[in-house]
Amino acid sequence: MTDAPAPPINIALDGFAEGDDPELAGALSFMIEQQGLLQTLVTGIVELVPDTTRWRLTLTGDMISTVNRVTERADDNPYTTDRGAGHAGAITLPHDDGTFDIVVSVDVLFATREDVGSVEALVAHVIAAAEHLSRHEAGHAALRLRGEDADAYQDVQGLSNSDAACRKPLAAHVDDNRIEQYTALHAPSPLHHVDHLTDAIAHLRAELNEAKRTWRADIGAAAYRTLTAANGLVRVLAYLAPELGLDENGTPRRPDPLPDGWADYVEDSWDAWSLTFHRLRPVDEPMTTDQIGAVLADLCRLMNAWMRSIGVDWGLTDDDQEYIFWEKDRY
């Protein structure tokens, strides 16, 4: 009796065109042919989703184009990589048949915050980024396959209208946090969210001031930019909690040095954010939807309490009428 052959692993390159940056193209070829880049990506995915029939991996030179093609998005609703003050560099796309397209941007693999000193350092950076991103994206697939992703628990009940409105965006951060708890131990990112925190705080401050300046002309647009920027900072906090972790006494660690704006926008609520996220378990440790939903509910309450603490009173009345007040003259 012979063993059945292993199913093929589906890997594709997409979004590359003649005339693209020849330096990046050469570096990518070197990483694939001599440094085992594709094997690194596959190993990270298999670690959390060992059934290779469940996923397809695409390494792309044009993230937006590839995602639009895979998801068959309409021309008037294109995918965007903008995430507040940051950008998305990979995505896991679920399909109705239980399979997933995992799309990873080449640009994000090679992105560094500063110039690296040698070819060896760049190789190490790219491999570390691949180890991290592959596990992060596989984590989304693993949660969905177990029925623990945002769609399974985000309709948690018992919240006020204002708090319930926060469920969907915060559920996405819950999933990311659980995955980042895992990668913090097994494949840390070579890019640290603590380094991105100053930009995220500055972006929120700028958006609040612009909303305050323009709300009389278009209050809907002002509210949207406020809520989007606030959610963007909370997304960073969801990643930051596992990156910084807790000290030996169970107290959330702070960045050192503290970034500009930390005292104004984060310090007073940081313990609550970090400790609530730390009630979640890493992606490789199953949780019930009731357990995850209880954490999500507390995060929703915390979101609106935090907004009020920084000078934004937003909410929905009992009959679902939206209101918002910017309570500071200057943020």
Question: What is the DSSP code string of 21-72?
Answer: -HHHHHHHHHHHHHS-HHHHHHHHHHHH---GGGEEEEEES-HHHHHHHHHT
Q: Is there a single domain that holds both residue 51 and residue 81?
A: yes
210 to 140, 202, 214, 221, 252: CA distances (angstroms): 35, 12, 6, 10, 32
Q: pLDDT digits over 83-117, tens only?
A: 554 567 899 999 999 999 999 999 999 988 677 77
Q: pLDDT digits over 204-244, tens only?
A: 999 999 999 999 999 999 999 999 999 999 999 999 999 99
154 part of a folded domain: no
What is the percent of the chain where pLDDT is above 90?
A: 83
Q: What is the pTM of this model?
A: 0.92
| Domain hosting residue 279, numbered range | 159-326
CB atoms within 10 A of CB 51: 12
Q: pLDDT digits over 63-85, tens only?
A: 988 998 998 876 667 776 665 54
Return d(Cα 105, Cα 88) in angstroms, integer.
Answer: 9
Q: What are phi and psi of 35, to 5 degrees?
A: -120, 5
Let me know: does 244 contact 266? Beta carbons within 8 Å.
no
150 part of a folded domain: no
Q: Which two tokens stand for residue 13?
A: 């390159």
Q: Is there a single domain that holds both residue 255 and residue 117?
A: no
Number of domains comprising the chain: 2
Q: Which amino acid is at 160?
A: S
Q: Is there a single domain that holds both residue 132 and residue 165?
A: no
Q: Is there a single domain that holds both residue 184 and residue 305?
A: yes
Q: Which two tokens stand for residue 301?
A: 């309450």
